[in-house]
A = this chain, B = another copy of it.
């Protein structure tokens, strides 16, 4: 085996290559594309903007291409930079896939999985999840937020799994580049004071509820699609008194006679004095969806947690007698 000795210069020496792509540079470009500014990437990756700026310069020198251009206050990726940012997903995902294979081969899934969730879904999904993970080597980080449907996708930059919801369709808006997994389909019921006129009915129609005072959610929040649908169906406006985010706050105000509202069925255990009634004739349900960046989804621990959430979602639907789809 003296082949290497007789032709030692056949092997490509890295420093002779005109351009040499490093994964670290690809990751940087991808983060810039996702977060917009160097400063945001710096905060997210616990580094200084200066470090990133230097790294960009070395990448540009290495590749002999301009990657960013000044743009008002910040920077903008050049076409070449965008090209590489898109390619980064491919490289980083394949790397994560290899890592997942190693994890699967060498033992149980392990490591830190960060979950961000909207409170109502987390309230019902997370306790069973913690129970199931108690024996495992997976540790969780949790964060909660109640935000507009289109903003959930942005949280997938920081969390491995974002538990989101969507009424518009199966996948929340803005989640195009993400892996989305539907965990459950949860009916949205009307919440009423127990002594309300409508409380005697077992099911409510749009006509039943249109002329009462409503406690709504801010615009852009998924629940808001339901009053909008009722308005379209009846041709009359819904009278919204407040626009609130927190479901428990809505419930207590409904109990105080401030109006009627909408609450998700699984996470609402009605207090004495309020009752839930299903709404029929209107598409009144939300999809609870897990979102992950493709590369994060490849991690075995992340996949395992997602699988658990799917099973928990199925059990929830079975418990409440909700059919799939």
A83 at the interface (CB under 8 A from B): yes
Write the A108-141 contact mask toward B (1 if CB under 8 angstroms, else 0): 0011101010000000000000000000000001
Known contacts being A26-B98, A87-B97, A98-B87, is A46 close to B141, with CB within 8 Å?
no
Chain A 149-182, CB-CB to B under 8 Å as 1, else 0, gives: 0000011001110000000000000000000000
User: How many A residues touch the partner, as a band?
Assistant: 35 or more
Nearest Cβ on chain B to A76's Cβ, whole angstroms: 17
> Is A101 part of the binding interface, using a Cβ–Cβ cutoff of 8 Å?
yes
Contact B19 A65 (CB under 8 A): no
CB of A97 within 8 A of CB of B90, answer: yes
Query: Is the C-beta of A318 less than 8 angstroms from some C-beta in chain B?
Result: no
Q: Judge whether A102 is part of the interface by a CB distance below 8 angstroms.
A: yes
Contact between B101 and A46, CB atoms less than 8 A apart: no
CB interface residues, A 14-56, toward B, < 8 Å: 16-19, 21, 23, 26, 35, 40, 43-46
Cα of A116 to Cα of B159 in the assembled complex, Å: 49
Show 21 residue pairs from A and B whose CB-CB distance is below 8 angstroms, ordered by the A residue. A4-B43, A4-B158, A5-B43, A7-B158, A8-B43, A11-B44, A11-B45, A11-B158, A12-B160, A18-B112, A19-B103, A21-B95, A21-B98, A63-B102, A79-B105, A84-B102, A87-B97, A87-B98, A88-B98, A91-B95, A91-B98
Chain A interface (Cβ < 8 Å from any Cβ of B): 1, 3-5, 7-13, 16-19, 21, 23, 26, 35, 40, 43-46, 63-65, 79-80, 83-84, 87-88, 90-91, 94-95, 97-99, 101-103, 105-106, 110-112, 114, 116, 141, 143, 154-155, 158-160
